[in-house]
Structure 1
């Protein structure tokens, strides 16, 4: 684990004098919002640009007002999305970010943080594009954001390279059904299987992207329990709401990560410890998911601890030997190509 005081000290040393451009997908509430506001606290100079993506304009206005109070000289822009489970909407949102950023001097993205998700315990729900809504938010839409914004990420001027952070279920790998990556069979679908597939596929896609785009570091994070608006959704099942009401005081005291700490730990992933492969020649570097130091692809837990243990790296080595990484990447690009062509993805 990394002590929270070390995390905050590192952030204070790393950010305030570094010209920085950040994009937060799902930045209007919860973990994304906590990270946005923590970043705003660190800057007092007009060298920070932040794009905040989300659906709820009311929530976005609150975040923008908060950030502008914390950092009056920063530039904070809300980009509204309709449904980030749809790749069509992801593409439109990316096009708007690219348009806005190209109006700036030295257009680039130094940090891309993605937290878009829903808590759903029911059956699979297909989007009009043929993807499961949960899996799309946790995996497909996130990879699509990265590939669509890659040119700006590779233009980053940060010494340790641009950083991509996806926050969800790192380390939650259990089952992987290679013949049903989309979990179309109703017998295969559950929230736990969706989380597991998203975890496996994210890590393998990140390894592929890190090898092809060596100026970009990619980090997959498990954030632990961080209470946010999603936990109070009135549409959640009664048993979840009852359990939360009963256990929340104890969990907040004993286990849950405070919102400010969550924001700080998210930003810590932009540090040189998680450098891109091309920019990992010096400093204190974390081991990557393949076991090599500074590989450009990393998995971390709620206390910023490294998840790439021997057992973890052996598991992924076996999947590489079985050519699962190639299978996952082909599945992903097939989905992108099919949907971009105006067709429904049914594989």
Structure 2
């Protein structure tokens, strides 16, 4: 729970430290094998998996096949509410890059897209009091409506200024977000979405990592650790659970993808890294250490012919720049 201007309570346990180390190692492998931006087909598949899992946790009935059909503008026979939920989620995930994870206004904008046509106050922090009811008992009594804005400001302040590693902070944010329950509806899917966004800033692979499908497989445990963290007054159990889920999803990505890069793949990946800057063949080789000088020359020659790159200078003084026009 957050008290005004204080750091959310949690302990860094041995388990958390071990998980952070293991995740960091896996992220290193992801970088070394150039999986931080998986092939287009896998990205699309994982995005569909993410949307399907996150919404199924909230009771949505659409299958991956139906979501694929909606992505391709095909007609789907299903409850209208379920279709709207999926269409909204597709829109939000398409715009993920545009949101700043450290900005409360951006969080409200994302919620407005996610819940458009589903609730009246989409994108607005709640001012009413709410409780989460499971069966016949109140599972969680959220902080009163008048405190929500202040609590959310404190949470974003923690996210922006705290010195802890981002992996841990993203889990703390996810838990505290669910505890505060800042919106009347859509808090579960928003909390999971925002954790992804927070992690993406440092590790691009999280945009395409279906963490949600592992949460879905362990849904009961997800709710149990949320409840356990509520009862214990700190998010430690939830951090341990989420880091374990993140580790499993990275292991699964590395297991299923033995990626052979094409020249086009390498050029596309390098474009993300170098942006608008000039570079040499030597710079290019620094990023793809497993290819020969001849292969690097062929890649760059191909990209120049395709007008993807602009070449200047000659021989040793040759420089390249991506053509953004």
Shared fold per TM-score greater than 0.5? no
Higher-strand-fraction structure: 1
> Which has the larger Rg?
2
Higher-helix-fraction structure: 2
